[in-house]
Amino acid sequence: MRYQGKFPEYSQPLFRHLPEDFMLNLLKSRRITSTFAPTMQMEYNTTSLPNGIRLIHHRNHSEVAHFGLLVHTGTRDEHPDEHGLAHFMEHMFFKGTRKRSAYQIISRLEDVGGEVNAYTTKEETAIYATFLKDDARKAIELIQDIFVNSLFEEKERIKETEVILSEIQTYEDTPSELIFDHAEELLFPEHPIGRNILGSRESLHRFRNGLVEKFRNENYATAEIVLCAVGNIPFDKLSRYAERYFYDLPERSRTRSREVPEPSGGKKLKVARNTFQAHCVISGQAYSYRHDDRIALHLLNNILGGPGMNSRLNMALRERRGFSYSAESHYLPYTDSGAINIYFSCDKDRFQKSLEVTRGELKKLRSKPIQEKRLNFARRQLLGQIAISSENGEHLMMSMAKSYLLYNRVDSLPEIARKLDTVTAEKLLDVANEVLDPANLNTLIYM
């Protein structure tokens, strides 16, 4: 099942997809992540194993705990004949190990009220669990077994291929989801970061154990694996578990390099689809995780089409005119590039007016500085969204892991607030003129 809307609730299926970036706009976005993972003072402990695997833990006072493994490998690391392999491996992790059947994997934590899950993005693969704190050892051992000892048996491969093909068909029947991947294909043509996560019928039937092992050996670097935990578990106890189950994992370096994607802008494509509504994504290149103005773009995106009902797009298209039920924007930073996607859907007879209104809102951001009073509100709104999302232990754990993976640190909420305070109206104007330049934006229309 494709990830849609808010972060999935526990009742959802075992396999799901999270957005490429998923920490800043968790309240609404299908595709936003970030590396902001605060508590008010962000107390956390870290350690490293000799093989390079890192552990980060935030202790709270809950009876519920979370543990996960994040590896810096995703679909952008696939060769053309491997399209969809990272996601396929995510599925196959749960189909049997040397000592457990698929049923035993699922039942290991579900029998005690817990849950194990996984997701794949363009740049990461994660396996994580939620459980009562007294079952921490069970959860950590299970994730180690899944990650290290999965068998990828042929009979399970055939069966799971059919499951993913059904998933692809479901996805293709959802234009509001499909259009985002299509927009990235348009923005990053002939590059793996522009390909969809699920793969295709042709590529799925090519996967065999030899290809799986080659992909694992060339991409799963131990120095790019982060173990993460949130829960009322003593750090020394958690460290012992990490050493017990991950110490012997052989040190491994990444042997594949990532090519920087070259964006292609200024294109307009209209695709005929038999749908009641029209769907539109205006997309362009954006900043990478390392860019100095990344936080300014997060703030600008939040003002334009973030999760708040008072975002400019939502007010202009939905509240004032009643043109659209869904109007939003998403900023997706990657390690060496990024994308911004501005989306709306509407009745087909209102499409042209909706497009003109949307372009008008982009022009305002490029031509007129935001008033200081409104900018202060925007800073506070974004900070509040980050703080609220961090109250969910699962969100906090995975965002901590992402931040630690990329920066080897996690900012506190006051630190994030200080960074937001440095973003001026003039800076937002400069960012808007760079990122939202009409000459560099693609327009993709499903109608």
pLDDT tens by residue, 332-359: 999 999 999 999 999 999 999 999 999 9
Residues 6+ apart with CB under 8 A from 419: 295, 411
What are residue 229's DSSP bridge partners?
Answer: 57, 67
Residue 71 has pLDDT above 80, yes or no: yes
Residues 6+ apart with CB under 8 A from 59: 43, 45, 230, 231, 232, 233, 234, 235
Residue 242 has pLDDT above 50, yes or no: yes
Residue 259 has pLDDT above 70, yes or no: yes
pLDDT for the residue 162:
95
Backbone angles phi, psi at 211, to 5 degrees: -70, -40
Task: Check whether residue 201 and residue 291 sit in a common domain.
Answer: no
Residue 289 has pLDDT above 60, yes or no: yes
Task: Check whether residue 239 and residue 275 sit in a common domain.
Answer: no
d(CA 445, CA 447): 6
DSSP collapsed to 3 states, the chain: CCCCCCCCCCCCCCECCCCCCCCCCCCCCCCCCCCCCCCCCCCCEEEECCCCCEEEEECCCCCEEEEEEEECCCHHHCCHHHCCHHHHHHHHCCCCECCCCHHHHHHHHHCCCCEEEEEECCCCEEEEEEEEHHHHHHHHHHHHHHHHHECCCHHHHHHHHHHHHHHHHHHHCCHHHHHHHHHHHHHCCCCHHHCCCCCCHHHHCCCCHHHHHHHHHHHCCHHHEEEEEECCCCHHHHHHHHHHHHCCCCCCCCCCCCCCCCCCCCCEEEECCCCCEEEEEEEEECCCCCCCCHHHHHHHHHHHHCCCCCCHHHHHHHHCCCCCCEEEEEEEECCCCEEEEEEEEEEHHHHHHHHHHHHHHHHHHHHCCCCHHHHHHHHHHHHHHHHHHHCCHHHHHHHHHHHHHHHCCCCCHHHHHHHHHCCCHHHHHHHHHHHCCHHHCEEEEEC
Q: 93 lies in a domain?
A: yes
Q: What is the mean pLDDT of residues 146-170?
A: 94
d(CA 132, CA 171): 34
Q: How many C-alpha atoms does 400 have within 13 Å on its Cβ side?
A: 31
Query: Which letter, b or e, does each residue of 135-166 get, where b requires 16 or more Cβ atoms within 10 Å of its Cβ?
Result: bbbbbbebbbbbbeebebeeebbeebbeebbe
Cβ(346)–Cβ(322) below 8 Å: no
Task: Check whether residue 65 and residue 173 sit in a common domain.
Answer: yes
Task: Check whether residue 285 and residue 139 sit in a common domain.
Answer: no
Mean per-residue pLDDT over the chain, rounded = 90
What are residue 64's DSSP bridge partners?
Answer: 132
Which segment of 35-44, 78-87, 209-218, 252-261 scores lowest on mean pLDDT?
A: 35-44
Q: What is the mean pLDDT of residues 50-70?
A: 97
Hey, how many other C-beta atoms are within 10 angstroms of the C-beta on 366? 16
Q: What is the mean pLDDT of residues 296-302?
A: 98
Residue 140: what residue type?
A: I
Which segment of 23-32, 120-129, 175-184 scores lowest on mean pLDDT?
A: 23-32
Mind listing the pLDDT tens digit for each residue in 427-444? Answer: 999 999 999 999 999 999
Task: Check whether residue 360 and residue 283 sit in a common domain.
Answer: yes
Task: Check whether residue 296 and residue 229 sit in a common domain.
Answer: no
Task: Check whether residue 233 and residue 182 sit in a common domain.
Answer: yes
Q: Which of 4, 126, 20, 110 is nearest to 394 (CA)?
A: 126
Q: 363 lies in a domain?
A: yes
- Greater pLDDT, 225 or 9: 225
Residue 13 has pLDDT above 70, yes or no: no
Backbone angles phi, psi at 366, to 5 degrees: -85, -20
pLDDT for the residue 36:
55
**Token output for 8:** 């999935």
Place of tokens 């290809």: 211
Task: Check whether residue 239 and residue 384 sit in a common domain.
Answer: no
Task: Check whether residue 282 and residue 174 sit in a common domain.
Answer: no
Beta strands 338-347 and 326-333, pairing class = antiparallel
Q: 387 lies in a domain?
A: yes
d(CA 144, CA 32): 28
Write down which residue in 211, 246, 281 finishes a domain.
Answer: 246
Domain of residue 141 covers 45-246
Write down which residue in 246, 281, 300 finishes a domain.
Answer: 246
The CATH number of the domain holding residue 381 is 3.30.830.10
Mind listing the pLDDT tens digit for each residue in 161-174? Answer: 999 999 999 989 99
Residue 217 has pLDDT above 50, yes or no: yes
Place of tokens 């019928």: 201
Q: 401 lies in a domain?
A: yes
pLDDT for the residue 38:
53
**Token output for 341:** 């996607």
Q: What is the mean pLDDT of residues 265-289?
A: 96
pLDDT for the residue 5:
30
Q: Please state the domain count of the chain.
A: 2
Task: Check whether residue 219 and residue 286 sit in a common domain.
Answer: no
Mind listing the pLDDT tens digit for each residue in 368-426? Answer: 999 999 999 999 999 999 999 999 999 999 999 999 999 999 999 999 999 999 999 99
Q: 308 lies in a domain?
A: yes
Residue 219 — very low, low, confident or very high, per pLDDT cuts 50/70/90?
very high
Q: What share of the chain in percent tops pLDDT 90?
A: 88
- Greater pLDDT, 8 or 383: 383
Angle (CA) 125-46-399 rounded to 5° is: 40
pLDDT for the residue 209:
72
d(CA 399, CA 126): 12
Write down which residue in 182, 211, 246 finishes a domain.
Answer: 246
Q: How many C-alpha atoms does 227 have within 13 Å on its Cβ side?
A: 28
Q: Which of 334, 37, 399, 69 is nearest to 226 (CA)?
A: 69
pLDDT for the residue 206:
87
Mind listing the pLDDT tens digit for each residue in 84-121? Answer: 999 999 999 999 999 999 999 999 999 999 999 999 99
Residue 35 has pLDDT above 90, yes or no: no
Q: 258 lies in a domain?
A: no
- Greater pLDDT, 288 or 3: 288
Task: Check whether residue 71 and residue 206 sit in a common domain.
Answer: yes
Residue 18 has pLDDT above 70, yes or no: no
d(CA 58, CA 10): 21
Q: 259 lies in a domain?
A: no
Q: 206 lies in a domain?
A: yes
Task: Check whether residue 292 and residue 365 sit in a common domain.
Answer: yes
d(CA 220, CA 253): 7
